[in-house]
């Protein structure tokens, strides 16, 4: 598996001078993504307003997202953010008095909780599944809290706070058993974890391009199980969600019959050029190979951190990676100290976050572990 970084590292110029361990915030810039942005400017400059070309690029992005998760393109909406994807789903739920509850977990990214709590103003009931003692989700509490009033259960594939891999099969199964829909926020894993929507069994899946999908801000996606699309009618919408975008009918709302109904306004074209290039790398390498490589590095990292006497905050089961978190008295201070030595990490919730991708290798871990053990003053 060391072959993977050997083949790809030179495509990411930052790796020539920096130990980059922050793909959980932003994937490293590749020569292909840089060229895609240049191409966007050239197309604009040479062709003026090539909307046919740009709409075609959006179709390419939809196909790339679909390929990533083993879905059909007509089950995928290209959105501007995960927040948009979650909001449009919530706006589309057929809420009844007897099914008025949205459930999320304490390990979710704040945007999900914030969107859900905003629905309290519309009379919905909001419930949080707490964190368990091991830093994962409390499944016994989930079993109590997801009930026949639950309309939607949302959870992260991987927690942005501590790298916990959430038990997707159990949570999806619980939602289905109680008659609720399930929404997986895959942002912290997609690209470094092999996800196939057929195996996942969830109803909805969202993720964005800027982290492990190796592109940049401004573009994300929503996958919706095909049998469900027609039952969800977004009330948060826009003209690019219409069945005929160019009908330009100001008097009518007729959502697209496929998942494009979850889109809104003009697509983020520059970000889409980048997303096609970034996802192209991930799809070319294959997420199964990336996951195997990343898990191998993550296991070594956890083992050696524990040998050093550090407290690893990431639960070790069911799996570990791509994000490994270490408890730190001064995580922000440590991020800054490491940055000064050319090592890029990040901090959240009192944890130092080290995230791994296809371009990371053992030399990155050697450098990080040496620097980390020399900075014990930040640990306590």
Does position 280 interact with ligand PLP (CB under 6 A)? The reply is no
Told to check if 287 binds ligand PLP by CB under 6 A, we report: no
> 359 phi and psi, to 5 degrees?
-90, -5
CB of 224 to ligand PLP, least distance (A): 17
Residue 154 near ligand PLP by CB under 6 A: no
Residue 300 in tokens: 């070594």
Position among 208, 234, 255, 280 found at the interface with ligand PLP (CB under 6 A): 208
**160 touching ligand PLP, by CB under 6 A:** yes
Is the Cα dihedral 84, 157, 320, 197 positive or negative?
negative
Nearer to ligand PLP, 22 or 99 (CB): 22
Enumerate the β-bridge partners of residue 99. 96
Distance in angstroms (rounded) separating the CA atoms of residues 221 and 212: 14
Query: Distance of CA 334 to CAs 1, 127, 315, 330, 354, Å?
Result: 30, 35, 22, 6, 12
Rounded to whole angstroms, the maximal C-alpha distance in the chain is 67
> Vertex 191, ends 190 and 194: CA angle to 5°?
75
By the rule CB under 6 A, 345 interacts with ligand PLP = no
CB of 14 to ligand PLP, least distance (A): 20
Q: Is 88 in the site for ligand PLP (CB under 6 A)?
A: no
The reply on whether position 188 binds ligand PLP by CB under 6 A is yes
DSSP 309: T
| Interface pattern 98-137 for ligand PLP (x via CB under 6 A) | -----------x-x--------------------------
Q: At what angle do helices 287-308 and 269-285 cross, to 10 degrees?
A: 80
Asked whether position 65 contacts ligand PLP by CB under 6 A, the answer is no
Count of residues in contact with ligand PLP, rule CB under 6 A: 12
Q: Is 83 a residue that touches ligand PLP (CB under 6 A)?
A: yes
Q: Which residues pair with 125 in a beta bridge?
A: 101
Residue 81 lies near ligand PLP (rule: CB under 6 A): yes
Q: Is 264 in the site for ligand PLP (CB under 6 A)?
A: no
State yes or no: residue 185 binds ligand PLP (CB under 6 A): yes
| Contacts of 106 by beta carbon, 8 Å cutoff, 6+ apart | 128, 129, 130, 131, 137
Nearer to ligand PLP, 203 or 361 (CB): 203
Instruction: Note whether 359 binds ligand PLP by CB under 6 A.
Output: no
Q: Distances from the Cα of 182 to the Cαs of 111, 126, 153, in angstroms?
A: 17, 15, 5
In the complex, the residues that contact ligand PLP under the rule CB under 6 A are 81-83, 109, 111, 156, 160, 185, 187-188, 208, 220
């Amino acid at each position: 598996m060391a072959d993977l970084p050997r083949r790809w590292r030179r495509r990411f110029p930052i790796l020539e001078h920096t130990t980059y361990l922050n793909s959980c915030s932003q994937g490293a810039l590749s020569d292909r993504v840089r060229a895609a942005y240049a191409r966007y400017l050239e197309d604009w400059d040479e062709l003026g307003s090539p909307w046919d070309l740009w709409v075609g690029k959006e179709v390419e992005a939809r196909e790339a997202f679909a390929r990533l998760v083993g879905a059909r393109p007509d089950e995928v909406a290209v959105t501007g953010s995960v927040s948009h994807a979650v909001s449009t789903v919530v706006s589309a739920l057929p809420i009844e008095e007897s099914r008025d509850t949205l459930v999320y977990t304490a390990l979710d990214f704040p945007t999900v909780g914030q969107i859900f709590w905003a629905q309290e103003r519309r009379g919905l009931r909001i419930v949080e599944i707490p964190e368990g003692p091991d830093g994962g989700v409390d499944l016994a509490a989930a079993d109590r809290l997801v009930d026949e009033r639950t309309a939607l259960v949302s959870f992260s594939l991987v927690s942005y706070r501590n790298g916990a891999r959430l038990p997707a099969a159990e949570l999806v199964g619980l939602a289905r058993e109680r008659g609720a829909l399930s929404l997986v926020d895959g942002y912290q894993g997609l690209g470094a974890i092999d996800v196939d929507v057929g195996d996942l069994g969830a109803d909805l899946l969202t993720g964005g391009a800027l982290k492990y999908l190796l592109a940049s801000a401004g573009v994300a996606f929503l996958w919706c199980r095909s049998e469900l699309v027609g039952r969800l009618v977004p009330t948060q919408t826009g003209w690019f969600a219409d069945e005929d975008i160019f009908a330009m009918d100001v008097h009518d709302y007729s959502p697209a019959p496929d998942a494009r109904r979850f889109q809104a306004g003009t697509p983020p074209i520059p970000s889409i050029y980048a997303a096609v290039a970034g996802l192209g790398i991930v799809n070319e390498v294959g997420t199964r190979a990336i996951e195997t490589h990343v898990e191998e590095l993550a296991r070594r990292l956890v083992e050696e951190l524990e040998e050093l006497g550090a407290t690893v905050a990431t639960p070790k089961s069911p799996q570990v990676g791509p994000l490994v978190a270490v408890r730190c008295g001064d995580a922000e201070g440590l991020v800054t100290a490491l940055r000064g030595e050319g090592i890029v990490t990040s901090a959240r919730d009192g944890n130092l976050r080290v995230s791994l991708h296809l371009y990371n290798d053992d030399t990155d871990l050697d450098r990080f572990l040496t620097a980390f053990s020399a900075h014990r003053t930040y640990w306590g």
